[in-house]
Chains A and B, each alone.
Chain A
Amino acid sequence: MKKQLFFQSAVVSTILSYFLIFVGGLVRVSGAGMGCPNWPKCGDGWMPPTNIDINQINTTLAWIEFTNRMFGVILGISIIILNVLAVFYFRKNYNLLFASILSLIFVIVNGVLGGVLVWFELNPYIKTVHMLFALILVSILSYICIKSYKMINTTLFKGLKKNPILSKSLIVFWILIVVEILLGTGIRTNLELVSIENPLLSKGELLNALDSYKYFHSFLGFTLLFLSAYIYSKLRTNKLYIARFLGIFILGMIIVQIFLGEMMIFFELPQLTRLFHTWGSSWLVGVVIILYNCISNEYDK
């Protein structure tokens, strides 16, 4: 019962954090990052102004940015509840307790970093760190999910064959997908910097003006495709349904992302495609953590 409650709390926090990444991405693609020109307040008050504002605040952009902050607070509360449960029920389980506390630290730090981002008027490096911390946060929360799930369903994970090469390739996959996502935000940042200096360039011309490391993003994308095909082939006959499912999910998601990436080049970066390109990729980060912990079974030791 206690374990079930803790597991559910972890799942809620994880889903909320993915949702927050979606809203954060929406802030970026709609250019609403400076919608609230200050932090933690938005304009003169804690809520954005509702009518046309004399201080030239664009209220629509302010509400988009404010929604992002509001969901950040909701995620924070959800993780505080997770921590309370961890302290009450799992004081002896250092893995879960430590991971819960770490998730609380990361959610607070990333919230403040969101404020720093506004103070520094959307400095591109802080933007990238903000994204990196969000990816680490979903990784920690996914870890808590799968660990507590395994505590509830111990029998399910007994007697599995270990595959050290597969486990290692999942670690490599996690590192590469995080690098790939950060490279993607780097491309975006570069596009913005080039477009500030050359405001009249069309989006197609902007892409041509980019540094050569946009090719590295594509190259790494195809590397991830081969790696995910390997992972899928190894998991195809796995006894665990969840492992087989996640194997297909990873391969499918990589294919979808490569497709979306190419779409963005041919159709000059429609904003919604950008949003799902980033968000879908961020799912892989947590999924790989879950898969890794599924197939490395500590109960057989």
Chain B
Amino acid sequence: MSMINKKLIIAFFSVLILGIIGLFTIDQATQSRINNLSVISEVPSFQLDNFDGTSFTEKNLDNKITVASFIFTQCEGACPIMSTNMGLLQKRFSDSDALQFVSITTDPDYDSSSVLKEFSDKYSSKNNWFFLRGDINDVVKLSEDGFFLSASLLPTGHSTRLVLIDKDRNIRQYYEGTVDANIIELQNDIVTLINKG
């Protein structure tokens, strides 16, 4: 075999090996994204009120992908950013019925239904975003025991994380609600859940 043919064969096999490495790596990356969304825990039963007076329980999480947050309307730091980001996601996924949003107030004394309605008008552009209030002890219990998010020194001490919940009420992942890169990540994970269930 001539030198040239030998070199061509080496080149061919190098490209082939690189292709296999590439395919394997891409597959691993895709798989890792799905694994990264493994079930963390099931949301326990709860009962809160939406600002329109209707009751909202864990059953309302069924058959919808839910993005949940803890906020209060007088909060000046993280909450406006978190809520703007949730509004952004609401707009971007406005064509999909698979998604809903839930914000639970950590200041039910001030955040009456009418205050929450005003807040909703400011941030929400579709009727798939529920602003919930209830007894403060229930909210603390839901935050700490249900979502594993700290809730000390309320109202200000609520978590700034957004929670991704799947169609079967399972918590799948947490995202820092004020960090753009995490919002993009959340968006990609929502797409993964919509496509893969």
Contacts and interface: CB of A to CB of B under 8 A. Distances in A.
Interface stretch (A53-61, A137-145, A182-190): A53-61
Interface residues of B, number: 28
Interface string A168-209: 000000000000000000000000000011111000000000
Contact of A60 (B32, B93, B190): B32
B26 A272 contact: yes
B12 to A, nearest CB: 13
A104 interface: no
B29 A199 contact: no
A175 to B, nearest CB: 27
B92 A26 contact: no
Interface string A205-232: 0000000000000000000000000000
A60 B22 contact: no
Contact of B187 (A34, A64, A196): A196
A26 B22 contact: yes
Interface residues of A, dominant DSSP: helix
A199 B21 CA distance: 29
A272 B29 contact: no
A51 B96 CA distance: 36
B29 A200 contact: no
B51 interface: no
B29 A30 contact: yes
A79 B67 CA distance: 50
A197 B26 CA distance: 24
A197 B93 CA distance: 9
Looking at A30, A196, A275, A276, the one whose CB has the most chain B CB atoms below 10 A away is A30
Given A199-B92, A200-B93, A32 B29 contact: yes
B33 interface: yes
A59 B32 contact: yes
A283 to B, nearest CB: 10
Contact of A22 (B18, B36, B194): B18
A121 B180 contact: yes
Interface string A34-76: 1001000000000000000000101111001000000000000
Contacts of B32: 58-61
B181 A272 contact: no
A128 to B, nearest CB: 19
A102 interface: no
A159 B28 CA distance: 54
A154 interface: no
Given A58-B32, A121-B181, A200 B95 contact: yes
A7 to B, nearest CB: 17
B25 A64 contact: yes
Contacts of A64: 25, 28-29
Contacts of B173: 56
Interface string B61-76: 0000000000000000
Interface string A250-262: 0000000000000
A271 interface: yes
Q: Which 9 A-B residue pairings sit nearest by Cβ, starting from the closest?
A: A60-B32, A30-B29, A271-B26, A30-B26, A121-B181, A58-B36, A199-B191, A275-B22, A60-B28
Given A26-B21, A56-B174, A200-B96, 10 more contacts: A26-B22, A30-B25, A30-B30, A34-B181, A58-B32, A196-B184, A200-B95, A272-B19, A272-B23, A276-B22
9 contacts: A26-B22, A31-B29, A58-B32, A64-B28, A121-B181, A198-B92, A199-B188, A199-B191, A275-B26
